[in-house]
Structure formats: C-alpha cells, structure tokens
Structure 1
Amino acid sequence: MLATERHGRILEHVQKKKTVTVAELSRLLDVSEVTVRKDLIKLEQEGLLSRVHGGASVAHFLPLERSFTEKQGERVEEKARIARQALAHIQPGDTLILGAGTTTMELAKLLGQIPDLTIVTNAVNIAMELNSHGAHHVILIGGEMRAKSFALVGPVAEDNLKKLSVSKCFIGADGIHEHDGLSTLSLAEGKANRIMMERSRKVYVLADHTKFGETHFSSFADLSDVDRIVTDRLDEQTLATFRELGVKIELAEGQEDKE
C-alpha cells in the first residue's frame, strides 16, 4: 500500500472514530507501529489530525491544503466510479466547464469517449489531459496558477469566465455541508468556482463521501445552486438529511435519490 493510500485510510478512520490508537491503525493497515507513527507525524504536520499519547484524534484547527499530487493517490477507485457515473450526463456536442480537482481529472480522462465537445477549464493539468485526446475543442482560461492544484485563478481568470456560457459545469468541493453549502480551502478557487456555476445552465458537483458534513475556509455556493451531487456512497442518515433539503444525490453504485 502506498503512503498516500495509507494516509487516506488513516484520515477516514480518525474522522469516523474521532480518536484511534497506533495499535488499532497498525492492525487496520497491516503495517508496523513504527510506520503508523511516521504517518501520524506527517499528517499532523499537514494539519490534518492531532497526535495524542498512543494514537491520534481529529484536528482542532483548519487543515492545511494538500497538493493535487498528494490527493491523487487517495480514494482512487471511488473517484473513478464517480467519474464514470458523471459521464452519463454528457452527450456529443455539449459545452462544458471542468473545475480543478482530482475527481474532475478522472472525468477528463474519460471524455475521449464522447465526440464533439467544447470544454472550458481553469486547470492546466486537466487541459493537458483533454488535449491529449485530440478529440475536443479545449479552452484554457488565463490567470494566476496555484501550485497546489494547477488551477488558474484571480481577476484575469474571473473576467474570462464571465464572458463564457456553457450547458454543464462539473466541479469539486472540499466540503459539502447541509447548512454551509459548498466550500473549499482556497478563497481564490472558491470565487472561480462560483463564477463557473453562474455561467452554466446545469451544475454537477463531484465529491466522495468524505466531503459531506465538512465546512472549510471559503464557502462559495448554497446547496440550492446545485442541480446534482454525484458521490460514491453515503450512509442513510446523511442521504436522508440532504434529501429533506431537496438536494439530488446520485450514487456511483447506481442508486439515485429521485425524490
């Protein structure tokens, strides 16, 4: 198991249990306690958890933003399933916006299957992936590139986005909360995401289950601004909460909230 995969499983387990022991994580991951302690040190340095005697607990402060490369190895299969589910909402001839992120990158990898697309993106790495297909009209907006996510942001990016209009927008989020809506760790990316949504007739949010119930630094949209959220899985209580709010949730396993 790669270190990035271990880190993702550790964070999921800590979020679920609130406090865990080194021995417990060692058994869960089938690695030595020495390896677990090294992982916990790194995750604490990144602001993602707090180490306590003999284990770790949820962090009592805002997490530090991790890079695209660091996040790319986490929940790989879940992101791939979400992307495959989202692909069903795209038809030949569509005009799209793809926001930055690891799950939207997974969708970009699949778009070579659909011809005659016009795709706008603010992510340099996603534009390169789309261009490699040789099948689409790809528009990479200008702006200041963020090293963490390869996203183009700032006044130039915002002005360019405001001049465009597309049929569908696919974006990610660091947090999806029943009261606080959609949020991200970057104020600049949040502003760009907001404009992408405003310039699209339909908005799809692609996010794995760990993003639900989370609120981060920059809230950029209400749940009512979203046409559909595509995720890998949700527990019944969370699904019921969002259903009561009128949010359409589509699960990658094929279960869809149709109420």
Structure 2
Amino acid sequence: MNERSATRLRNLEASLAQGGSLRLAEAAALCDVSEMTIRRDLAASDGALVLVGGLLMRADDPRHAPAYDLAVQRDRYAEVKRRLCERAVATLEEGDTLFIDCGTTLMPMAASLPSDLSLTVVTYALNVADAVSARPGVRLWLLGGLYQESSRSFDGDDMAVTIARLGINKAFISAAGVHDMKGLSCFHFHEVAPKRAAIASAEHRVLVVDPSKRGLVRPARFAGLDEIDEVITEQGSIPV
C-alpha cells in the first residue's frame, strides 16, 4: 500500500473514531478521490475498515458486527430492553393472540407475560418459547422447521402460510437495523418470511427497538417503517 492510500485510510478511520458509518460516496468525497479508489484502498488494507451494503464502518464497532452472537446481544442494552418490554406488556388485552419475534429484544416480554390474561403466543424462536412455556395460563404455538443455532429460531417452508391462517391481534417485531430510508432489516434471511407474514396478517404491528439499532442497515431487509403501526423506543410509544 502506498503512502497516499494509507493517509486516506487513516483519515477515514479518524472520521469513524466515534462510531457510525459513511456512505461510499461520502468517503470518496471526503478524500477527494473516486469510489473505486476507496474500494482499492480497502482491498489492500488490514481490514480495520469494512464496506457493508455500501456503508463504510469500523470492523471493531460492535453495532456493526458482521455476525450475530445471541449471547452478546442478550447482554447489550439489557435494562433498556426490559423497560421497552414493560411498555409492550402494558398494551396486552384479554384474549390477545400475539406474534413475538426472535432475538433478545423481546425476551423480557416473553418472560413477563401476565398470568391473569388469557393469551396465545405464536413464535418461531426457541428462547421465546422456553420463556413463554413457563408462564401459567399462556397458550404457546411454536412454529417449527429446521433449527438455526445462530438465532435459536426455526426455518420452515410453510411457516408464512401457517402464520397467515392465524388470527394475530398484535405482532411484536424486532429488528437488527432500523433506517429511515432503508427500513427494517435483520442478520438472517430465514427470518424474513415469518416477520413479513406476521406484519401482513396482524391487526396491529409494533416494532420494539433499542437505541443501538437506529440508523443501521443489516443484510436482510424485511419491511418498511410505513408497514409498522407503532414503535416502542426509549422515547416512548410512537404511532407511525
């Protein structure tokens, strides 16, 4: 790598020192070179910066982790997730049939469902099912298929068809990326079908999201923000 290339990369690393990301075009403009030159710089670099979906970011930024680690995600923003799920639980009504998405954001909700309401929970996530099965009076519908260890969830060909047949009152959706323009995304492509089916069939669609997901784009896009009725965030519950 020549000195000019190394200087450009150092400048980009300094720009990303506090986290966040740069579009490839923004990085090129910042260095006053073409996008192809930035791509060549990255190809010859030590991998400190990575390009994902047209966004340049630090490889060691945990918010942009290229792989999903369920154990790590469980401990991140744990207290925030608990508070968000308290708000979600407060919206439940007698007789509701709920879709609870996979991941760790909605785990506190699954573990704290009220025992004085008659509820049915539909999920394809094993960790959610484990928590729900311990709640008295809550009926569990676990969607099966091929088990995916990375997200502790199932991948089934007929999952979307089954969800479409169910009368889901409220779908609680999680996302690994929430972007104003690019919409909602996740790490795993097998999650797209059940998420989309739940969004399509539910009477009310609720996105529960902690601050670390805002502004991010993950590999598998599954919906636009306009397909969600309500967003539960640290700022409260916001109708969309």
Q: Distance in 2 between matches of 1:74 and 1:202?
A: 27
Shift of 1:72: 0.6
SS state at 1:137 partner: strand
Shift of 1:136: 0.8
Q: 208, 211, 218: which one pairs with 1:209?
A: 211
Q: Does the 8 A contact of 1:79 with 1:232 survive in 2? A: no
Counterpart of 1:127 in structure 2: which amino acid? A
Q: 1:258 to 1:158 in 2, by over 3 A?
A: closer
Q: Which moved more, 1:109-118 or 1:72-81?
A: 109-118
Counterpart residue number, 1:11: none
SS state at 2:118 partner: coil
Counterpart residue number, 1:231: 233
Shift of 1:154: 3.2
Cα deviation, 1:190-215, whole Å, max 9, x if unaligned, reads 22211111121110011101111111
Q: Distance in 2 between matches of 1:212 and 1:76?
A: 16
SS state at 2:221 partner: strand
Greater helix content? 1
Q: 1:135 to 1:188 in 2, by over 3 A?
A: same
Counterpart residue number, 1:59: 59
Counterpart residue number, 1:112: 114
Q: 1:198 to 1:114 in 2, by over 3 A?
A: farther
TM-score by length of 2: 0.72
Name structure 1 gaps, 5 residues minimum.
1-16, 21-48, 52-56, 234-250
Q: Does the 8 A contact of 1:93 with 1:115 survive in 2? A: yes
Q: Does the 8 A contact of 1:142 with 1:160 survive in 2? A: no
Larger Rg: 2
Name structure 2 gaps, 5 residues minimum.
1-14, 19-46, 50-56
Shift of 1:124: 1.3
- Identity in percent: 25
SS state at 1:191 partner: helix
Counterpart residue number, 1:99: 101
Cα deviation, 1:107-132, whole Å, max 9, x if unaligned, reads 11110344200111111121111111
| Structure 2 residue 161 is matched with structure 1 residue 163 | no
Counterpart residue number, 1:5: none
Q: Distance in 2 between matches of 1:60 and 1:180?
A: 23
Q: 1:258 to 1:121 in 2, by over 3 A?
A: closer
Q: How many residues end up aligned between the 2 structures?
A: 190
Q: 1:232 to 1:150 in 2, by over 3 A?
A: same
Q: Distance in 2 between matches of 1:108 and 1:189?
A: 18
Q: 1:93 to 1:209 in 2, by over 3 A?
A: same
Q: 136, 141, 147: which one pairs with 2:143?
A: 141
Counterpart of 1:170 in structure 2: which amino acid? F
Q: Distance in 2 between matches of 1:169 and 1:258?
A: 15
Counterpart of 1:59 in structure 2: which amino acid? A
Map 1:153-192; keep pairs closer than 5 Å.
Answer: 153-192=155-194
Q: Distance in 2 between matches of 1:257 and 1:158?
A: 27
Counterpart residue number, 1:75: 77
Counterpart residue number, 1:121: 123
